[in-house]
A and B are shown apart, each in its own frame.
Chain A
Amino acid sequence: MAKDEMNPAFKLIGTRVLRPDGLDKVTGRARYGADFAAPGMLFGAAVRSPHAHARIKRIDATRALALDGVKAVVTRADFPTGLTGEDWNLQENCMAGDVALYDGHAVAAVAATSALLAQDAAKLIEVEYEPLPHVTDVDDAIKPDAPAIRPGAADHSVPDGMPPNVVRYFEFGHGDLDAGFAEADIVRAQTYRTEATHQGYIEPQACVGQLGADGKGEMWVTTQGQWYVRWMCAAVLGLETAQLRVTPSEIGGGFGGKTTVFIEPLSLALSRKAGGKPVKLVMSRSDVLRATGPTASASMDVKIGMKADGTMTAGRAEFRMQGGAFPGSPLNEALECAFAAYKLPAVEHIGHEVLANRPKAAAYRAPGAPMAAFAVESLVDEIARELGLDPIAVRLKNAVREGDRSSYGPRYKSIGLVETLEAAKAHANYAAPLGPNQGRGVATGYWFNHNGDTSVSMAIAEDGTAQVSVGTPDIGGSRASLGLMVAETLGIPYEHVRVNVVETGALGINEPSHGSRATFASGKAAVIATEQAIAEMCRRAAAEWGIEPEAVDWVEGAAQPAGPNAGKFPPMKIAEIAGQMSSTGGPIAGHYEGLPEGVGASFGTHVVDVEVDPETGRTTILRYLVVQDAGRAIHPAYVEGQFQGGAAQGIGWALNEAYIYGEDGRLQNAGFLDYRIPVACDLPMIDTVIVEVPNPGHPYGVRGVGETGITPPLPAVANAIAAATGARLRRLPMNPPAVLAAIKAVRGG
């Protein structure tokens, strides 16, 4: 069915309404993590390891505690023992036990009556370290003779005889690989490497925690998921989960980095030790970069076979990833996304997860997918170039469609890859003339999207306006899109709906705003809850009219008889029903608790033009086009915003962002000066095309849009640089020294 045939005449869906939190955010009133204060509040500071790997021999807080106004010091000794699995990983990462595992690993924390005093006290806590051999590079960490970071950490998946730091091993695939490669006219294999990058949210982690001797606690925190903060803090501290109440603040960016805990359990531990006084902890930017979760770094071997006409016959990917001193790098996600865009008769994936002396990796926008895309989409481009084929034509020839078997096994349901490729091909940017030292790059990207535990409640107010309580913090305008869907469903003005992101006491559990799920999952849940409330309002009207509830329809914000046979009554508007609700049966509300099935995956295609200064190796982005399948854009401006923001992060990852560790294993660029995220003048306007192949699993056709956009830029930029210079870069970042060296290598001098 053609898209426009499926597109009913929505009143609100697809309009660019003003976001409900806009006024607070342009006036400075909106309250973020560090903006909360509680009466009697103390201020905390953490002591962090200056070593990449060191045994903690002694911690002496005597001098700190002697300062007037210092109220509590906590170390690992203040946390419960006996945790296992991910609970133990979380606890160990929040506060080092016997061994500090990376530069920036917290080893103690202190609470005092002012922030300056807490910082002074932290400096007076004496920690005696015995430095141990360290390793930070993924390819070094996987060597058999690398320093063993956590013997015994390997899980059931690791076959015997693997090097000591391999903690997870993974393989999957299908088809006859040898036959596939034999069938190809050209087989190429290359190794690609990406460095770890940070989500780079501008708001550092911040929280105020309060915990009494009775085990009851409160927390105000910037987070993507207040229920995750609750269970994680409870697990780390050995508390009863429901005794903690966690209230999310406005959130200053997360991109996956705020789906876990770092300082939050420390503030509760300090509070408990300080007699239950609330304790505020705010990370510095350098703490954020050293000690919160960046993404993994990857080393990737890829092999692809292709016929001369561009048909891909086989693909193989073997990835090595380090996600810090803990398991949990996005290895399987990376491998499952690697060949997701291609119909391959034979494919094999192998993955090794390795420990290294770096902070525990956290999720970062489409975790794993950008690295995989860098490797696979670069090699597809290399082969297409060698065969003289158009990059979009090659991708169209092999593109997966509905019903095709995916590289990771299951068959695809409705997807829009072909539509994004066609739209990219048709866009003016794909035909724009290029000058000297300029080149064009194309790449596709994929993300599964996700549903997750979801609880939503909605209720009708006395005047017929509506409130919606959701558990997914609003990171990029989700209150606007949820408000649009509820208003559309109810048939009332958008302005009559207030969407609230609520604390953990108000709803059943929710997964965070991650996996591109907020608009899909909370949206679907809100629509279901709204339909319950509508059904109830129809029942109230039916009772009033003395007809069967089934004989009542809901049309444009009013109950009305379903047809001439149902009776002749004037429509009963929502305000009228709401105004009488106390006398017609009480509150009118709806709710949803569950795992909303029907997730729709999202493909995207990016086209970038660059100019490379052949004398300095500096890359300038001239044009950038994002084409992505949104399913349906509820609020197009915020869909475009997700596309543009993902592209900008990907461009940063491609060109200049990287974790730089010294020989001593310490992070050398723990600040925005040398951790170089794109600034306004680094980028052009970012053109967008929203493709809408509606997701049949969502009442309004929504797919998630947040994550796919960061996936194609890494290879798209690499492919454009190759087109501009003839030099192929297979390692990120493609910063000026790297590009200049590559240019010199191909030009012989």
Chain B
Amino acid sequence: MHYHTPASFEEAVRIAASAGGVTRFLAGGTDVLVQLRAGAVTPDDLIDLKHIPGVHDIAATPQGGWRIGVAVSGAELGEHAALKRDWPGVVEAMELVGSTQVQGRATLTGNLCNGSPAADSVPALVAAGARVAVTGPQGSREMAVEQVPTGPGKTALGPGDLITAITLPPRGAGGGDAYQRFIPRTEMDIAVVGCAVNLTLEGDVITQARVALGAVAPTVMLVPEAAEAIISTTLDSDALEALVKVARSAARPISDKRGTAEFRTDIAGVLARRVAELAYARAKGRAK
């Protein structure tokens, strides 16, 4: 295995493009090293992105959103008060990934690129309307986060493509987001179901919403019907009941060692309701 420390994304792309065998990009390494250890993936070329200027930065965008470097750890996200104030759901989702030790290394970009349908941060990013900047042999482009994962362990990134930053839109007034997951223990498990809700209020009425579910389909999915169920409502009991129903019918889970399909479907509804209530309370300024 060859270890590279490029000083720019362009150089990283060049190394990747010229590599013949298996290539992996390394930021936090919390997935790459586990695969390496298990013998599941032993890259021929490992390209460490942490020496590229700017990858450790969390920066405000001119539009009022946030640009998050690819090597920013979960712990650093959690310590960024202004980001956490704007997007508590995104930050809390990332903070659920792994242990405190894993938080010291794991990144949003890595969580996204691992392609897991159960990745905690991804539903929150999708609900937030986050976008990624991609650089590759064909040049640079932007895409919505929900376009990145294409199946378990698979992404829309081509050979040599790499994400250079994740951008969160401006929060705006009357907004709130939240993420929760269900796991058997209190910590340290992979989500059996995850749900993120991002909404905007005018007065008590929801004017915009995005709802995303994790671990109930081959990829994290945006559920527009779930958003429609609560838009133009005050999240009253009828709206919540409709949301629960829609979330459950949108879920297409499998049964595996972490939960049965029936259980996941059930919990998708329970979480959608709980998370929507929390996001709503945050938008009203009633919850942190």
Contacts and interface: CB of A to CB of B under 8 A. Distances in A.
Partners in one complex: yes
A618 B270 contact: no
B263 A737 contact: yes
A655 B188 CA distance: 15
Interface stretch (B45-53, B69-77, B218-226, B252-260): B252-260
Contacts of A284: 37
Interface stretch (B104-112, B140-148, B162-170, B179-187): B179-187
B270 A615 contact: yes
A123 B39 CA distance: 9
Contacts of B262: 737, 741
Contacts of A682: 185-187
A147 interface: no
Contact of B258 (A123, A674, A679, A740): A674
Contacts of B185: 656, 676, 678-679, 682
B93 interface: no
Q: Which of A286, A678, A736 has the most CB of B within 10 A?
A: A736
Contacts of B187: 679, 681-682
B190 interface: yes
Contacts of A615: 270
B255 to A, nearest CB: 9
A123 B40 CA distance: 12
B57 interface: no
A7 interface: no
A736 B263 contact: yes
Given A673-B189, A679-B188, A736 B257 contact: no
Contacts of B13: none
Interface size class of B (residues with CB under 8 A): 20 to 34
A119 interface: yes
Contact of A736 (B39, B184, B188, B256): B184
Contacts of A681: 186-187
A616 B267 contact: yes
A496 to B, nearest CB: 41
Contacts of A660: 257
B266 interface: yes
A668 interface: yes
Nearest to A658: B257
Given A616-B267, A616-B270, A673 B182 contact: no
A681 B262 CA distance: 27
A668 B257 CA distance: 7
B190 A673 contact: yes
B194 to A, nearest CB: 13
Contact of A676 (B189, B259, B263, B270): B189
A323 B154 CA distance: 39
Given A615-B270, A616-B270, A676 B39 contact: no
Interface in B58-79: none
A674 B257 contact: yes
Contacts of B39: 119, 123
Given A656-B184, A676-B184, A737 B189 contact: no
Contact of A673 (B188, B192, B259, B270): B188
A616 B182 contact: yes
A735 interface: yes
Interface string A352-375: 000000000000000000000000
A669 interface: yes
A615 B273 CA distance: 11
Contacts of B182: 616, 618, 736
B173 interface: no
Contacts of A676: 184-185, 188-189
Contacts of B260: 737
Contacts of B256: 668
A740 B257 contact: no
A741 B266 CA distance: 10
A669 to B, nearest CB: 5
B287 interface: no
A679 B266 contact: no
A660 B257 CA distance: 7
A679 B182 CA distance: 16
Contacts of A656: 184-185
A682 B38 CA distance: 28
Contacts of B263: 617, 736-737, 740-741
Interface string A672-692: 111010110110000000000
B287 to A, nearest CB: 20
Contacts of A668: 256-257
A737 B259 contact: yes
B247 to A, nearest CB: 13
A678 B187 CA distance: 9
Interface in A634-682: 655-656, 660, 668-669, 672-674, 676, 678-679, 681-682
Interface in A117-147: 119, 123
A288 to B, nearest CB: 14
A741 B257 CA distance: 16
Contacts of A741: 262-263
Contacts of B267: 616
Contact of A735 (B38, B184, B186, B188): B184
Interface string A720-749: 000000000000000111001100000000
Interface string B106-137: 00000000000000000000000000000000
Contacts of B37: 284
Nearest to A667: B257
Nearest to B99: A679
A741 B260 CA distance: 11
Q: Report the 3 A-B pairs with minimum CB-CB distance, sorted nearest first.
A: A737-B263, A681-B186, A615-B270
24 contacts: A119-B39, A123-B39, A286-B38, A616-B182, A616-B267, A618-B182, A618-B184, A656-B184, A656-B185, A668-B256, A669-B257, A672-B188, A673-B190, A674-B189, A676-B188, A676-B189, A679-B186, A679-B188, A736-B182, A736-B184, A736-B192, A740-B263, A740-B266, A741-B262
Given A673-B188, A736-B263, 8 more contacts: A668-B256, A668-B257, A669-B257, A674-B189, A676-B184, A679-B188, A737-B262, A740-B263
